[in-house]
Amino acid sequence: MKPNFPEEFFYLSLGEIQAKLRAKEFKVKELTEAWCDRLESRGPKYNALAHSLRKPAMKAAKYHDKDFKRERFRSPLHGIPYGAKDLLSYADHPTEWGAPPFKGQVFKEHAKVISKLEGVGANCIGKLAMVELAGGGGYRYANASSTGPGLNPWDITRWSGGSSSGSGAAVAAGLVPFALGSETWGSILTPAAYCGVTGLRPTYGLVSRSGAMALSWTMDKIGPLCRTAEDCGLVLQVIAGGDSDDPGSAGKSFYYTPEYVRPFSEMRIGWNPADLDAVEDPGVRLALHEAVQVLLKLGFQVKEVKLPELPYGTVASTIIGCEMASVFEPLVADGRVQQLVDKTQAAGIVAATDYKATDYLKAMRLRRVIQEAMGKVFDEVDVLISPSRGGVAERISERLDVGGRGRLPLGAAGNVAGLPALSLPCGLAQNLPVGISVVSRAYQENLLLAVGKQFQAQTDWHKRRPPLPA
């Protein structure tokens, strides 16, 4: 007889699911089948599923059940299903990067992060939808994907956020316990904020990109989207680490130990009140204000901080554009770029080939200035807080290439400097999620996760669920 998995089960944290597995309330095979059924039936309602991996996942589940029977527990993720953004290769199965020119593309090896998760017993059940080519070239509408526009589980007339659209929607709707996404300039924090989940952008180089589609070699980062900050820490502990196959690897490991972070009373938290003033929607502004008050009451010393006036966005877009032009040069040369769904994006990739070496070198010199400037900011404070986005999710019919799409300076500055950030759900406006971010200097993920864990101990926004699909 199959176990009964009530709706609320699919919103449990990783620790809660693992505890039930170890208590033998159900088998890994039963758990995997239930999640596969859910992902396959509900994923298309949000355009969140690119490819189901039911067959290899069910095969792996049988081996995991043998481990559990003998009480061999590999990790806190052992036996737990998850989804991976479709820019990460899964051996001998389609990895299409959300783009029609790469339909049917197959690689022979797993991406490094998938191999690492497989090694500790986590079980990938599906490739999740994404904006084509991770948004390279810029895109005008949310439907810039071979799977259609990412639909937000809170309101399917709204966007789930790019470019990790499927990852954000799948976690929010309880289709997977956690997912892997990637960020070059906002693609983890945006879907996390729009879908009301927790998203971690690791320090550049902490997580291997081997086996992942490249957009910008010096800015691409892979990280988790989860229910809680603690879940993000458990996943990061597995996927972090040096990799000789990734030239950008920092060669550093990560162990989730938030308990060893210095007392908050000995640290400073910085924020800029002008960030809230720049938010137009009064409901969003109120949610962010209340979240700031919770964070400021965690015991930190408080300091108002204003980022130096530097061209963060211009530097980010120039670096991405120059590196993308090299990555996708063959796509332009053979004309396949015109097969992209979003013709604005195709034009943007073609236009990027006009960048000059001097443009790239100037941007890289300015990047060093930005890194030094951010270093000075973090001489003054230990943590910065800022809205994850300047508003709630756009309607899928709205243009996304106007008004900066709610981007804030810290998003560009943090990505250019390679700094880690954690987006936390912090409220609702127009019945849509709002997110707030905490940012720190490089390799301080445990500090961010400790802040996130304490924030989520004081609030319940991470426990809120979107309405059931029609």
Token pair, residue 129, equals: 């939808």
Phi-psi region of 351 (alpha: psi -120 to 50; beta: other; left: phi over 0): alpha
Residue 404 has pLDDT above 90, yes or no: no
Active site residue 163: yes
Q: Which of 187, 210, 249, 388 is catalytic?
A: 187
Is residue 405 very low, low, confident or very high in pLDDT (cuts 50, 70, 90)?
A: low
Per DSSP, helices labelled H in 43-164 are: 54-69, 112-119
- From the list 338, 269, 336, the residue with the least C-alpha distance to 301 is 269
DSSP-derived 3-state class of residue 127: strand
CATH architecture of 11-470: Alpha-Beta Complex (3.90)
Residue 285 has pLDDT above 60, yes or no: yes
Element (H, E) at 384: strand 383-387
Say what the pLDDT of residue 277 is.
Answer: 82
Q: How many CB atoms lie within 10 A of CB 152?
A: 31
For 179-196, what is the mean pLDDT? 98
Q: Which of 85, 112, 127, 221 is catalytic?
A: 85
The values of phi and psi at residue 139, to 5°, are: -135, 150
Q: Report pLDDT digits (tens) over 18-56.
A: 999 999 999 999 999 999 999 999 999 999 999 999 999
Residue 67 has pLDDT above 60, yes or no: yes
Q: Report pLDDT digits (tens) over 258-268.
A: 999 999 999 99
For 279-303, what is the mean pLDDT? 95
Say what the pLDDT of residue 387 is.
Answer: 96
DSSP-derived 3-state class of residue 412: helix
Is residue 403 very low, low, confident or very high in pLDDT (cuts 50, 70, 90)?
A: low
Of 247-256, 267-276, 338-347, 359-368, least confident by mean pLDDT is 267-276
For 50-66, what is the mean pLDDT? 98
CB 319 within 8 A of CB 325: no
For 303-324, what is the mean pLDDT? 97
DSSP-derived 3-state class of residue 429: strand
Domain edges within the chain? 11-470
Q: Report pLDDT digits (tens) over 153-169.
A: 999 999 999 999 999 99
Active site residue 165: no
Average pLDDT, the chain: 97
Cα→Cα distances 443→47, 189, 206, 301, 373, Å? 34, 18, 8, 21, 17
CB 399 within 8 A of CB 162: no
Active site residue 59: no
Percent of the chain with pLDDT over 70: 99
Taking the C-alpha atoms of residue 356 and residue 289, their distance in angstroms, rounded to an integer, is: 43
Q: Which of 163, 182, 210, 216 is catalytic?
A: 163
